[in-house]
Structure 1
Amino acid sequence: MMADDATCGYVTLATRPREGRRRGRLCPMCAAVRRPRSPRRPLPYATGVAAGALALLAAAGGPAAAAEPDAFTLTDPRITESSGLAASRTHPGVYWTHNDSDDGPYVYAVDAATGRTVATVTLRGIGAPRDVEAISVGPDGRIYVGDIGDNLGGSWDHVWIYRFPEPAQLRDTTVTAEQFTVRYADGPRDAEALMVHPKTGRVYLASKKQGGGAALYEGPVRLSAAGSNTFRRVAPIDLWVTDGAFSPDGSRLVLRGYFGAQAYRWRDGRPEALGPVAVPLQRQGESVSFTPDGRTLMYGSEGRNSQVEPVALSGEQLPDAARRDDDAADGGTSGGGTAAGRPGEWSGGASSYGKGALVLAGATALVLAVRSLLRRGRR
Structure 2
Amino acid sequence: MSLSTKRLIAFVPARIAFITFWLVGLVYAVSAQQAPVKIIPAELSETSGLFVAKDNLFYIHNDSGDTSRFFAIDAKGNLLSTLYFKGDPSKKHLGVTDCEDIAGGPGPVKNKSYIYLGDIGDNGGNRPYVTVYRFPEPNKFSGNMQIESEAVHLKYPNGPQDAETLMVDPILKELIIISKRQDTVGIYSAPLFFKKGDTIKMKKQGSLFLPGKGLVKYVVSGDISRDGQQILLKTYANVYYWLRNGKEPISQTLRRTPTKLPYILERQGEAVGFTPDGKAYYCISEGKNAVIYRYNVPQLPGQH
User: Normalising to structure 2: TM-score of the pair?
Assistant: 0.76
Greater helix fraction, Structure 1 or Structure 2: 1
Does residue 266 of the first structure (1) align with residue 225 of the second (2)? no
Distance in structure 1 (CA, Å) of the matches to 2:168 and 2:36: 25
Distance in structure 2 (CA, Å) of the matches to 1:72 and 1:231: 38
Letter in 1 for 2:38: F
Structure with greater Cα Rg: 1
- The counterpart of 2:85, out of the listed 88, 106, 123, is 123
**Displacement, 1:233?**
1.7
- The counterpart of 2:179, out of the listed 207, 215, 222, is 207
Q: Quick one: higher RCO (CA 8 Å, sep 6+), 1 or 2? A: 2
Greater strand fraction, Structure 1 or Structure 2: 2
Letter in 2 for 1:204: I
In structure 2, the residue matched to 1:250 is 228
**Displacement, 1:238?**
2.0
Letter in 2 for 1:299: C
Q: 1:94 to 1:70 in 2, by over 3 A?
A: farther
C-alpha contact 1:186 1:232 (8 A) present in aligned 2: no
In structure 1, the residue matched to 2:99 is 132
Does residue 179 of the first structure (1) align with residue 151 of the second (2)? yes
Aligned residues: 248
- The counterpart of 1:234, out of the listed 180, 184, 205, is 205
Q: 1:311 to 1:235 in 2, by over 3 A?
A: farther
C-alpha contact 1:220 1:230 (8 A) present in aligned 2: no
Over residues 182-204 of structure 1, what are the superposed CA-to-partner deviations in whole Å (9 max), with x where a residue is unaligned? 11111110000000123443210
SS in 2 for 1:314: coil
SS in 1 for 2:288: coil
Distance in structure 1 (CA, Å) of the matches to 2:138 and 2:239: 31
- The counterpart of 2:276, out of the listed 292, 312, 327, is 292
Over residues 160-193 of structure 1, what are the superposed CA-to-partner deviations in whole Å (9 max), with x where a residue is unaligned? 0111111100223102211110111111100000
Does residue 191 of the first structure (1) align with residue 171 of the second (2)? no
Q: Map of 1:143-158 to 2, 5 A cutoff? A: 143-152=115-124, 154-158=125-129
Distance in structure 2 (CA, Å) of the matches to 1:156 and 1:269: 27
**Displacement, 1:69?**
5.1
Distance in structure 1 (CA, Å) of the matches to 2:292 and 2:175: 24
SS in 1 for 2:300: helix
C-alpha contact 1:296 1:312 (8 A) present in aligned 2: yes
Q: 1:292 to 1:231 in 2, by over 3 A?
A: same
C-alpha contact 1:125 1:176 (8 A) present in aligned 2: no
**Displacement, 1:297?**
1.5
Unaligned runs of 5+ in 2: 1-33, 90-94, 108-112, 211-217
Letter in 1 for 2:65: D
What is the aligned-residue identity percentage? 30
**Displacement, 1:106?**
1.0
Distance in structure 1 (CA, Å) of the matches to 2:234 and 2:68: 25
Does residue 280 of the first structure (1) align with residue 264 of the second (2)? yes
In structure 2, the residue matched to 1:78 is 43
SS in 1 for 2:83: strand
Does residue 105 of the first structure (1) align with residue 68 of the second (2)? yes
Q: Map of 1:18-37 to 2, 5 A cutoff? A: none
Does residue 308 of the first structure (1) align with residue 280 of the second (2)? no
- What is the Cα-based RMSD across aligned positions, in Å? 2.0
In structure 2, the residue matched to 1:331 is none
In structure 1, the residue matched to 2:21 is none
Over residues 308-360 of structure 1, what are the superposed CA-to-partner deviations in whole Å (9 max), with x where a residue is unaligned? 2122221338xx7xx43xxxxxxxxxxxxxxxxxxxxxxxxxxxxxxxxxxxx
C-alpha contact 1:258 1:284 (8 A) present in aligned 2: yes
Distance in structure 2 (CA, Å) of the matches to 1:139 and 1:220: 12
